[in-house]
Amino acid sequence: MALLEIKNLSIQFGGLRAVDDFNLTVEKGDLYGLIGPNGAGKTTVFNLLTGEYKPTEGVIKLEDKDITGMSTIDINRAGVARTFQNIRLFKDQSVLDNVKIGLHNQFRYSPVAAVLRLPSYFAVEKQMNEKALELLAVFDLDTEADTLASNLPYGKQRKLEIARAMATNPKLLLLDEPAAGMNPNETEELMEDIRFIREKFGMTILLIEHDMRLVSGICEKLTVLNFGRILTQGPTRDVLSNPEVIKAYLGDD
| Contacting residues toward another protein, per CB under 8 A | 50, 52, 71-73, 76-77, 81-82, 84, 88-94, 96-97, 100-102, 104-105, 107-109, 111, 114-117, 121-122, 124-126, 128-129, 133, 145-148, 150-151, 164-165, 167-168
Shortest distance in whole angstroms from residue 22 CB to another protein: 21
Shortest distance in whole angstroms from residue 109 CB to another protein: 7
Shortest distance in whole angstroms from residue 53 CB to another protein: 12
Nearer to another protein, 164 or 221 (CB): 164
Instruction: Label each residue of 41-71 as H, E or C.
Output: CHHHHHHHHCCCCCCCEEEEEECCEECCCCC
Nearer to another protein, 134 or 192 (CB): 134
Nearer to another protein, 128 or 224 (CB): 128
Q: Do residues 75 and 168 make contact, with C-beta atoms less than 8 angstroms apart?
A: no
At 171, the amino acid letter reads K
Q: Do residues 67 and 7 make contact, with C-beta atoms less than 8 angstroms apart?
A: no
Nearer to another protein, 49 or 194 (CB): 49
Helix axes 119-138, 184-201, angle to 10 degrees: 120
Q: Do residues 130 and 51 make contact, with C-beta atoms less than 8 angstroms apart?
A: no
Interatomic CA distance for residues 95 and 100, integer angstroms: 9
Shortest distance in whole angstroms from residue 154 CB to another protein: 15
